[in-house]
Structure 1
Amino acid sequence: MSSTAIPPLDNTYGSVLIGTCLGLILYGVTLLQSYRYFQLFPADRPFLKMLVVAMLILETLYTVLSMHICYWSLVTNYANPQALFTGRSVWSLAFLPLASGLLMMTSQIFFLRRIIIVGRKYWPCAGVAIMLIITQVSFESLATQRAFTLDVSNVHEIFGPSSTGAVFALAADLIITGTLILSLWQSKTGFSQTNTLLNKLILYSVNTGLIAGAINVISVILAFRFQQTLLTFAPGIICVRFYAVSMMAALNTRASLKGRGRSTNGTSNGASGLEMNTPVNIKLQSRPQVQNIDVSVNVEEHSDMHKQPVQSDGVSDDFDETRKVQHGRFNAV
């Protein structure tokens, strides 16, 4: 067998290897964020905990699949490169599109939940995003089904349905991100502290959506431009990892914003995860200052009364005023 008959591996399994290595770095970031999440929010709602656990399971499965592809191609078939381009495709390569779709869907469900909580007027946008997500997973499933019937030399044919699914995922991400930004923007008021917090949330939403969206676009372009190669695998693997990173970062960001946004009972909205109940938070911005003023006035009145106590039936009005002051302090707290 002549060396010229051996196809190059740089633009095929080399791309898979690079994507796997970079993906492992992001997998480590996800593990660290998950550890911090369970430390910072042990009392979160069961739904959020189940979502995080599902994300970790899918991330681990995705890691195993991509690593198995590299091991099978570079170790098992070492010195036998023709095996990489003949026969049936390896099972891990076939399952990779479906795992990608499920991973992206898990993260999108988390952000869709935020839209549903914000208000009914945003539910139509959430409905459109849900239909796009279902279509996305359907195309990824079709890519997996087709991969089991293809030879390795024709594995690039799965990029058609897989890239179509990525386009639907990108459209869903744009709707979700745009809706979240719109809801935050419409919540702005004249309070500078609240507006500053909302601006940070808007910037964060743009950044997280922009990074994943940009990598997704690169992956789709490579899939359609270089159809006979596996170049799309590297940005594709990295893009899927960013979905998990963005979800866990959104959950853990609540710790740094704790105390800036409060609900009506004075507790942070930790369970719902920055659910953007900004109209309620805004109303409470000035209350503590007004209550403190009322208490200070009562204290001054008490001190004046203390200087000239008036006795009535053997009971001092001084004592009654003290109880009023204490009652005022209790309400202020």
Structure 2
Amino acid sequence: MAAVLPTTLPPAAVLNSTLGALMLGAFASSALYGVLCLQTVMFCRTSFYDHRYARYTVWALWVMNTAHLAFCIHPCYWYMVSNYGRPDTIDHIIWSIPTWQILTATNDILVRGWFVYRIWILSQHNRWLAPPLAVYVVVVFVLTTVLGGETYLAQTFTAFRQTQASRAVGAIMPMVFALDVIIAFLLCFYFFRSRNNILSRRIGTYINVLIVYTINTGLLTSVLAMACTIT
């Protein structure tokens, strides 16, 4: 005998801002993961002379992003398939959501850490620039990790909205926005200055590519952080 599903589902507006946003985020993560896999393969084919720590970092980022995609897909399946027709579960925070928050924070500190390291090298070990920026990166990591822990402890979105952590989201997102803009600006500045000091046209072209890549990655994360703040 087939089970009878509840008919009191939330209105479409509620689903658009909850399950709809979750599904679109999973689709976007899947597309970006494909780009990451391509970049990882290209790096492995040309990284014979790179330092082993750089290779280890790239492999670690690939593993973490693979797990991140799995944790993005899991809540989609849990809410939309395993608990289909059960509107009471929409307010429940499944364990994979705070897990992917913490995993994202770990991924971000690795990426931003390498960017800050490049700023340290390109700025010729400027003690007034790279070290404070490194502290800024660590502070953002700690706040984001604590936010993931508070999300896990809240158990429901209703309970989470009543915590101090939910109010801190509005402060953390502008910090992420400012951090990514600063890193992108400094990298572009030092890349541009290095290009002016190089006579080789071919190397100058490579530096132009790095500048464009830096602007695109910094702009993308900054726009997403600002969008989260506004919404």
Instruction: Give the corresponding residue for 1:56.
Output: 62
Take 2:220 and 2:152, find their aligned partners in 1: how far apart are those partners? 32
Number of aligned positions between the proteins:
220
* Distance of aligned partners of 1:161 and 1:63 in 2 relative to their CA distance in 1, 3 Å threshold: farther
* Distance of aligned partners of 1:29 and 1:198 in 2 relative to their CA distance in 1, 3 Å threshold: closer
What is the Cα deviation at residue 125 of structure 1?
1.8
Name which of 2, 5, 8 aligns with 1:3: 8
Secondary structure (helix, strand or coil) at the match of 1:120 reads: coil
Deviations 1:3-44 (A, max 9, x none): 376683221121001100121111111111111111122332
The CA RMSD measured in Å over matched residues stands at 2.6
What is the Cα deviation at residue 134 of structure 1?
1.1
2:104 counterpart letter in structure 1: S
Task: From the CA coordinates, give the structure whose radius of gyration is larger.
Answer: 1
Name which of 183, 194, 218 aligns with 1:209: 218
* Residue 219, structure 1, aligned to residue 228, structure 2: yes
Higher relative contact order (CA closer than 8 Å, sequence separation 6+): 1
- Kindly indicate whether the alpha-carbon contact (under 8 Å) linking 1:125 and 1:179 is maintained by their aligned counterparts in 2: no
Name which of 146, 151, 157 aligns with 1:147: 151
Instruction: Give the corresponding residue for 1:92.
Output: 96
1:165 counterpart letter in structure 2: I
- Kindly indicate whether the alpha-carbon contact (under 8 Å) linking 2:191 and 2:207 is maintained by their aligned counterparts in 1: yes
- Structure 2 unmatched ranges of 5 or more: 1-5
Instruction: Give the corresponding residue for 2:193.
Output: 186
Structure 1, 179-188 or 159-168: larger mean CA deviation: 159-168
Secondary structure (helix, strand or coil) at the match of 2:114 reads: helix
Take 2:126 and 2:147, find their aligned partners in 1: how far apart are those partners? 32
* Residue 41, structure 1, aligned to residue 50, structure 2: no
Take 2:159 and 2:62, find their aligned partners in 1: how far apart are those partners? 28
Instruction: Give the corresponding residue for 1:129.
Output: 133
1:82 counterpart letter in structure 2: D
* Distance of aligned partners of 1:28 and 1:186 in 2 relative to their CA distance in 1, 3 Å threshold: closer
Name which of 165, 175, 188 aligns with 2:182: 175
Take 2:178 and 2:129, find their aligned partners in 1: how far apart are those partners? 12
Identity %: 21
What is the Cα deviation at residue 128 of structure 1?
2.0
* Distance of aligned partners of 1:2 and 1:41 in 2 relative to their CA distance in 1, 3 Å threshold: closer
Take 1:220 and 1:119, find their aligned partners in 2: how far apart are those partners? 32
Take 1:169 and 1:116, find their aligned partners in 2: how far apart are those partners? 20
Deviations 1:243-286 (A, max 9, x none): xxxxxxxxxxxxxxxxxxxxxxxxxxxxxxxxxxxxxxxxxxxx
Deviations 1:269-316 (A, max 9, x none): xxxxxxxxxxxxxxxxxxxxxxxxxxxxxxxxxxxxxxxxxxxxxxxx
TM-score, structure 2 length as denominator? 0.83
What is the Cα deviation at residue 99 of structure 1?
1.5
* Distance of aligned partners of 1:185 and 1:36 in 2 relative to their CA distance in 1, 3 Å threshold: closer
Instruction: Give the corresponding residue for 1:244.
Output: none
- Kindly indicate whether the alpha-carbon contact (under 8 Å) linking 1:51 and 1:106 is maintained by their aligned counterparts in 2: yes
Matches within 5 A, 1:239-278: none
TM-score, structure 1 length as denominator? 0.59
Take 1:197 and 1:101, find their aligned partners in 2: how far apart are those partners? 30
- Structure 1 unmatched ranges of 5 or more: 223-333
Deviations 1:43-84 (A, max 9, x none): 321110111011012101211111111111111111212122
Take 2:156 and 2:75, find their aligned partners in 1: how far apart are those partners? 12
Take 1:207 and 1:154, find their aligned partners in 2: how far apart are those partners? 36
Take 2:227 and 2:119, find their aligned partners in 1: how far apart are those partners? 27
